[in-house]
Amino acid sequence: MRWDRCSSPRRARQAEHSQGFSLVELLVVLALLSVIVGIGLPAMLNSLNRSRLAAFAQQTASAMQAARLEAIKRSTVTRVEIHFSANSNSVIAYVDTNKNNVYDPPNPSTPTANDILIFQVTAPAGVVYQGPGTTANSNAVYGFDTISGGGVVLFNSDGSVSKQGGFRIRDQRANIMEVFVSPQASARIAVRKYAGNPNGGDDPTLYFESDESPGWTWN
């Protein structure tokens, strides 16, 4: 007697397995994916936030470094300003040609009044100029002069800085970084991170560079 192909036990098992995943198997896979996403997604978002904060802190430092070099190159004073508002936070570095303490973009009709733009960038979403504290923009400017809605630091023609101090930058998880300039004569620019209570009072001694103890930890 000859077995029909469909009646063969082996063929039947193969046909059963070829129908795809069972409901139980699909539920197991979905459960595993949920666990992986639940663990990995928050870590990925935290890493993205840290990257945005650190990148903007470095951009602020780059604005200062470029302004200092331009001051030496042109034998003049350059300005680095931070501006904060409800909609955006930004940094701009420029040569204030007409000495009016305001950036005047190029205008062909008044070429002698045109300031020289050195560097300009806006903070990414979720990153603001703010230090320790709970109010908007609290302790964003340390040591430097304040201006309406921001702060300013001046670099002199010999490479020195008008005052030593820093600009503070904060993300949505209350990580705080500082771009610090000190001492006045050599104007060394450093990116540091705050190791104190982000919602408490400001402690200028608790800002550290990445290679200094206790190192950088993140919220």
Could you say which DSSP state residue 120 is in?
E
Interval 44-72: pLDDT, tens = 656 677 889 999 999 999 999 999 999 99
Alpha helix ranges (H) inside 9-157: 9-17, 23-74
Question: Into how many domains does the chain fold?
Answer: 1
Kindly state whether residue 129 falls inside one of the protein's structural domains.
yes
Average pLDDT over residues 175-184: 97
Kindly state whether residue 72 falls inside one of the protein's structural domains.
yes
Kindly state whether residue 62 falls inside one of the protein's structural domains.
yes
Whether residue 106 is preceded by a cis peptide bond, meaning omega within 30 degrees of 0, is: no
- Among 68, 117, 60, which Cα is nearest to 90's? 60
Q: Which of helix, strand or coil describes residue 113?
A: helix
Kindly state whether residue 36 falls inside one of the protein's structural domains.
yes
pLDDT value of position 132: 97
Kindly state whether residue 216 falls inside one of the protein's structural domains.
no
Kindly state whether residue 63 falls inside one of the protein's structural domains.
yes
pLDDT value of position 27: 73
Kindly state whether residue 215 falls inside one of the protein's structural domains.
no
Region for residue 170 given its phi and psi (left: phi exceeds 0; alpha: psi -120 to 50; beta: otherwise): beta
pLDDT value of position 106: 80
Kindly state whether residue 11 falls inside one of the protein's structural domains.
no
* CA–CA separation, 89 and 202 (whole Å): 21
Average pLDDT over residues 104-116: 78
Domain CATH number, residue 175 = 3.55.40.10
Which has more pLDDT, 114 or 170?
Answer: 170
pTM of the model: 0.79
Residue 91 pLDDT class (50, 70, 90 cuts): very high
Domain that holds residue 158: 22-208
Mean per-residue pLDDT over the chain, rounded:
87
